[in-house]
Structure 1
Amino acid sequence: MQQEALEAPLTGESVAEEPGLARKPLSRPALVWQRLRRMPRFWVGFGIFVALVLMAFVAPLVYPFGPTDRDPYNMNMGPTTLHWFGTNAIGQDIYAQTLSGLQKSLIIGMIAGPAATLIAAFIGAAAGYIGGWTDRTLSWMIHLLLVIPSFYIFVLLSPLVKGLSWLALTIFLAAFSWMIMAQVVRNQTRSLRNRDFVRAARYMGMSSGGILRRHIIPNIASLLIIDATLGVVAAIMAETSLSYFGFGVQKPEISLGNLLADGASAAVTRPWLFVFPAGVLIILLFAISLVGDALRDAIDPTSGNNRD
């Protein structure tokens, strides 16, 4: 009984309290959740992330100032009980603007990150499973996009997309963020395509698309979940960087990037213009990174970072 109890965490099986009765083996999602809930860093990251989401989408409903409202009696003022993060040179509330920028960053990141993972999943799986000229063509396209820095592509295309909404930026980030993961998926698919369960599905007459959807992609879902989570961080950082340099979200729309750009010149004389948007951005990236790190260790306990 003592030996079974020691082996249970390794096999995913739990032993019943009564002698001779063993519970059913845990499913993979249940096993991942069992590991996750024992990781303090997951709960810290998840709690901070939920708080920031509520702050971005609920707080503006009750806060008395909007991002474009002006207070002519409190211009260039530091944090007060009336304006929590202070005001800028024309009396706009920095807290309201930070909430608006946080909301934009969350939406862009939550769309662009998973979308890039989906593109990587289907292109990489198709290249790895079909092989031949399809593999060569898709691999050539992946290598070409990896060679050309996406930042410079967007700089060149910025005159064409400046008049468009932030959705254009979201589509761009998703379209140029999938190549590395596609290579990983391609290699994983090549190792799976000759497995017995894939051969059996092929002999039963299942189409290539059906095999990819039902057998290949579900078997690499762990990698895709981790990539989608960390892809949110990468998309938020990319959007902030592009907006900071004037190629991303354009005014009058607000993002954390253009708030940082506006406050950088006054970071010493009026630090609240820069410190508060930067602090919110750092906390957001930290929270998502904690969740992604915990998720990686829960899915792959052999990753070497399972410290909890």
Structure 2
Amino acid sequence: MVEDAQVLPVTPKAQQRGPRPASRLRLIFAKLARTPRFWVGTLTLLVIVLWALFGLAFYNFNAVSQDVMSMNTGPTGKHWFGTDEIGGDIYAQTVVGLRKSLLIGFVVGPVSALLAGFIGALAGYLGGVWDRVIVWFIDLLLVLPALYILIMLYPLIKGGSWVIVMVYLAIFSWMILARVIRAQTSSLRDRDFVKAARFMGVKTSTIIRRHIIPNVSSLLIIDATLGVGAAILTETTLSYFGFGVQPPDVSLGTLLSSGTGAATTRPWLFVFPAAILVITVLATSLAGDALRDAVDPTSGANRD
């Protein structure tokens, strides 16, 4: 009599292989979810952006309103941040100025990161003469005094649109990251997947777009995030000294410039725009710093 054979349970293939390893993107999100700095910075920045967009939706004054019956008054229920010497509402001007500064920051940061990624990847991938020419151009822009160039060009751009300031900031904000991307690309150029694509006749632009840029995307994302705060601060500094946004346009820098002289006698003219600037730059710095630590754990693994 033949004994019944023992029937073993069939294990699904997914269980036989074990749990799938988490992707790098999931690991980054998991790290960010455990980082208080990321949530504080991101939520604060989100509130600031929403306030800049909708802060005047139910307010009775705008940036050009003049209340001649309430000139040089402090914060009240009617004028939340007070008024200036001609009755202009500081709250409305701050919201509009913040809107302009955020727009410049959110454009300059990503655009400069994209320029750095493309030019740096092109130099590192091509190598040879092209690499030397591009690096020479990058070094030339690095040694040029950007502020002095702006001062010399100021008579030509005075009275022009604030878009000129935005373009200027983007042109002089990408060089350092481009050198980093170039070094990363030089090491990626000799990897097997890049060699295989080159031997298959794939175009240079396609290789850079499909194989190089995705491998340095973490650096570009970090630089774009941190570049938003840096661009806002740079634009504010230029506008403060009269080389940035020009009246009748309003930015945080123009508000700080006009309120500096009255910082002790009428502090509301200076304190509110300055506080908004500090909070905005600090929020972007916290979010960018947390993102950098999540992408590169060796940059600050034990901070939180």
State if a TM-score over 0.5 links the two structures.
Answer: yes
**Matched residue type, 2:138:** I
Provide Cα deviations, 1:174-199, integer angstroms capped at 9, x if missing partner. 01111101111111111110011111
Match of 2:264 among 245, 265, 268: 268
Q: Percent identity?
A: 59
Structure 2 match to 1:205 = 201
Correspondences of 1:244-263 after superposition (within 5 Å): 244-263=240-259
One-letter amino acid of the counterpart of residue 197, structure 1: F
Q: Give the Å deviation of 1:64.
A: 1.1
Q: Which residue of 1 aligns with 2:183?
A: 187
TM-score, normalized by length of structure 1? 0.92
- 1:306: Cα distance to partner? 4.3
State the one-letter code of the partner of 2:86: I
Larger Rg: 2
Q: 2:236 aligns with which of 201, 224, 240?
A: 240
* Pair 1:164 & 2:170 matched: no
User: Which of residues 45, 52, 56 is equivalent to 1:60?
Assistant: 56
Matching residue of 2:123? 127
Asked whether the equivalents of residues 116 and 175 of structure 1 are also in contact (C-alpha less than 8 Å), the reply is yes
Closer/same/farther in 2, CA of residues 54 and 199 from structure 1, 3 Å limit: same
Q: What residue in structure 1 maps to residue 282 of structure 2?
A: 286
Structure 1 counterpart of 2:231, one-letter code: A
- What letter corresponds to residue 255 of structure 1 in structure 2? S
Once the 2 structures are TM-superposed, how far is the Cα of residue 210 of structure 1 from its aligned partner?
1.0
Alpha-carbon distance, 1:307 to partner: 2.2
The 8 Å contact of residues 297 and 306 in structure 1, kept in 2 or not, is answered as no
* SS of structure 2 residue aligned to 1:73: helix
Provide Cα deviations, 1:130-183, integer angstroms capped at 9, x if missing partner. 011111111111111111121111111112112321111111110111110111
Contact 1:42 1:290 in 2 (8 A): yes
1:108-147 mapped onto 2 (5 Å cutoff): 108-147=104-143
Runs (4+) off by over 2 Å: 19-23, 304-308
3-state DSSP of counterpart to 2:176:
helix
Q: Tell me which residue corresponds to 1:24.
A: 20
Q: Does 1:214 align with 2:210?
A: yes
Q: How far apart, CA to CA, are the structure 2 residues paired with 1:286 and 1:245?
A: 22
Is the CA contact 2:230–2:281 (under 8 Å) kept in the aligned structure 1? no
1:101 to 97, 104, 107: 97
* Partner of residue 149, structure 1: 145
In the TM superposition, residue 305 of structure 1 has moved relative to its aligned partner by 4.3
What letter matches 1:127 in structure 2?
Answer: A
Q: Distance in 2 between matches of 1:264 and 1:279?
A: 13
1:230 Cα offset (Å) = 0.7
**Residue pair 2:104, 2:231 contacting (<8 A) in 1 also:** yes
Aligned to 1:300: 296
Aligned to 1:175: 171
The more displaced of 167-176 and 297-306 is 297-306
One-letter amino acid of the counterpart of residue 299, structure 1 = V
Structure 1 residues 188 and 249: CA distance shift in structure 2, 3 A: same
Instruction: Return the offset for 1:38.
Output: 1.2
Instruction: Describe the superposition over 1:188-213 as per-residue Cα deviations: whole angstroms up to 9, x where unpaired.
Output: 11111001111111111111111111
In structure 1, the gaps of 5 or more residues are 1-18
Residue 21 of structure 1: how far off its partner (Å): 7.9
Structure-2 change in CA distance of 1:293 and 1:68 (3 Å): same
- Give the RMSD, CA atoms, in angstroms: 1.3
Shift of residue 223 of structure 1?
Answer: 0.6
